[in-house]
Structure 1
Amino acid sequence: MAVPEPTTSRRVTALDVAREAGVSRATVGFVLNNTPGQTIPESTRKRVLQAAERLGYRPNSAARALASGRSRIILLVLPDWPVEFRMQDYLDEVSLALDKAGYSLVTYTRHPDQAARPLWESLSPDLVVGTIPFNSPDVASMLACGVRQIYPDPDRPDPPDVSLAISAGPELQVDHLHERGHRNLIFAAFVEARTSSMVLARHQAASDRARFQGLAALGLERINYRDDSPDDAVRRWIDAGITGVVAFNDDVAAAIASAAVRAGLRMPADIAVIGHDDSPIATMFVPALSTIRIDTAALGRGFADFVLHRVDRRPLPASLTLPNLTVVRRETT
């Protein structure tokens, strides 16, 4: 006599749920998929859900995608930047908002000279979003995999307008130091190659703002927190009459503030430093770091609204929500 295979050794199917609940396979499908237009008694619906929970049923996403034509996965392709505090906060908010709408957010970082197959070939996402236009081979790969929507649109390869998100913070940093009486400024960043494009963009925005304020364009100083370069840089800045430092982020600001403390300098009397992102280190560091705070939660919800507009044709908010950035004044300025 054959012994039934334990359900723990194979995937639980909808047919297993139907047998457990004493209903048809079709009824299980109607209940688990919340199929509209069905008059299934509440008692039956509960029995199906309880049976599915007892058996540990998980839907087969590939089969569901094949049947519906949708995977309910959003793939966000990120540049090769480190995911720091505020970026993670932003992604968490996007993921939460999309989850409430029944979608899963998957982030994917493309690396230079990448050898692995692109992730969209495995996931078949409903929408692939990038921060810059995709190249022709990537677009061809997505279309061959059945990806229905790509943004930026390959037929209209205008890059997303991220100028405000990049420029607003550095502009506020420069304005704050200018208001505090500083006229000779420098822009500082770490040497990591992974942040290079964002460093250049923020430096350009800070330099443009400095010129707008009647100041000289900001030089770009790259330091390495693993060696003595922050100490050397601070000494050179003081000798050159630089009194204000626009830091790429709070980690850079902390490295510079540490070097200033070691040099016996007073902040902000001898040198003022302002960071970017209002990460936890900004408040824990002594002296506390002045910085730029971004409402990343609002940005995340705005991106989720855009995604749902693309995949579900939901209406966009009546007015565009601009990122709310504020200067957080602390001891270093």
Structure 2
Amino acid sequence: MSGQAGRRVTAADVARSLGISRATVGFVLNNTPGQTISERTRQRVLGEAERLGYRPHRAAQDLRRGSSKVIMMVIPDWRMEYRLRRHLEEAALAVDEAGFSLAIYARQATNRARPLWELLAPDVVLGLWPFDEEEVASMRASGVTRILPDPDHLGSLDDAVIITSGPALQVEHLHELGHRRLAFAASTDPRTSPLQEARLRAAQRAVDRLGLEPLDVRTADYLDDSAADAVRHWRSAGVTGVVAYNDDVAAMVVGAAIRAGLGVPADLSVIGHDDTPLAAMFVPSISSVDIDDVGAGRYFAALALHAIDGRALPPGGFDGEVRVVARESTAGGR
């Protein structure tokens, strides 16, 4: 027997399974001092609790009162880039203004540590994209009833305007400048795969709408020759415009092109995504897509607060501005 999704295994379940008193089980699980409980009984309780999937809930009293005043945001195991950091800072400020604390939890790829939601009993767990079945089951077994995105009504990253609008703008910007053969420069970091693949699909949809050839996809990494290899390939394939996954990748491509003796943007126009300080400081400065981080952070906070107490959501969903910031790395195609 194990804890079922939607129902938390309790100390009473452990006691019932063993045929001993609830008090005895409580004393063992809470490590209550001053009790004369045999080591054999203690081990039986601990073993059965583990078998049933019992997880101690140190915030149970808070939950009985209706709220722990904690909102947990689960983020991917990524390097904390500029845009993500600003997004989280604004979300934290918005929930603080509402009287809540924001706990930011980065799930590691190894998943060896016990999930933080089992320890903090958050009022809501909010992810940047859908959780898998094992994570949802763990949350529900821990007493978490509010999970966003809603695991029972999952959408797709391709439905998120904040994800899809930027790549479309990158493609449209290069097309308006006269570029007709475009490429996509991807990161080699596997941790970003879900977001990167969603951006690539959005860019390809934009290319299809404009009647252009499919994007020529290559990876770029500063640790090897992949960026230089990509630039050589694109040059021979007639590519004149490059849509980069983010500004770091765009900088790698621009650097590789200049080292290869190409002019940027004369021979190759490159546009990044996220409009980080690097884009403005790089020489030549890099055109990029700017996203309203303040609006995005506050919208995510509003989603969590709405799930907790039903307070109103911003009308129309996330309506923050997403725009192209044109700089020196893009110009008219030949």
TM-score of the pair, normalised by structure 2: 0.76
The match for 1:195 among 175, 192, 196 is 192
User: Which deviates the most, 136-145 or 180-189?
Assistant: 136-145
> After superposition, where does 1:112-131 map in structure 2 within 5 Å?
112-131=109-128
- The one-character-per-residue Cα deviations of 1:251-292 (angstroms, maximum 9, x if unpaired) are 011111111211222221111000000001001100000100
Q: Give yes or no for contact 1:223–1:230 (8 Å, CA) kept in 2.
A: yes
How many pairs does the alignment contain?
A: 273
Instruction: Report the alpha carbon displacement of residue 145 of structure 1 after superposing the two structures with TM.
Output: 2.2
Distance in 2 (CA, whole Å) between partners of 1:180 and 1:309 is 43
Q: Give yes or no for contact 2:157–2:198 (8 Å, CA) kept in 1.
A: no
- The one-character-per-residue Cα deviations of 1:95-144 (angstroms, maximum 9, x if unpaired) are 00001111111122223441111111110101112244434443333233
Residue in 1 that maps onto 2:262? 265
Change (3 A) 1:313 1:160: farther
- What are structure 1's unaligned runs of at least 5 residues? 1-60
The match for 1:176 among 152, 173, 176 is 173
Change (3 A) 1:161 1:129: farther
Q: Give yes or no for contact 1:82–1:195 (8 Å, CA) kept in 2.
A: no
Residue in 1 that maps onto 2:55? none
Q: Which has the larger radius of gyration?
A: 1
Is the partner of 1:167 in helix, strand or coil? helix
Matched letter for residue 147 of structure 1? V
Is the partner of 1:76 in helix, strand or coil? strand
Residue in 1 that maps onto 2:85? 88
Q: Give yes or no for contact 1:152–1:160 (8 Å, CA) kept in 2.
A: no
Deviating 4+ runs (over 6 angstroms) = none
Residue in 1 that maps onto 2:233? 236
Higher relative contact order (CA 8 A, sep 6+): 2
- The one-character-per-residue Cα deviations of 1:210-266 (angstroms, maximum 9, x if unpaired) are 111110110210122112221222122112211101010000111111112112222
TM-score of the pair, normalised by structure 1: 0.76
Q: CA RMSD in A?
A: 2.1
Distance in 1 (CA, whole Å) between partners of 2:233 and 2:150 is 48
Change (3 A) 1:75 1:183: same
> After superposition, where does 1:38-49 map in structure 2 within 5 Å?
none
Residue in 2 that maps onto 1:287? 284
Change (3 A) 1:265 1:197: same
User: Which deviates the most, 310-319 or 155-164?
Assistant: 155-164
- The one-character-per-residue Cα deviations of 1:137-166 (angstroms, maximum 9, x if unpaired) are 433332332223222334444557752122
Q: Give yes or no for contact 2:158–2:164 (8 Å, CA) kept in 1.
A: no
Change (3 A) 1:318 1:126: same
- The one-character-per-residue Cα deviations of 1:75-110 (angstroms, maximum 9, x if unpaired) are 112234433111111111000000111111112222
Q: Give yes or no for contact 2:157–2:163 (8 Å, CA) kept in 1.
A: no
Identical positions, percent: 50
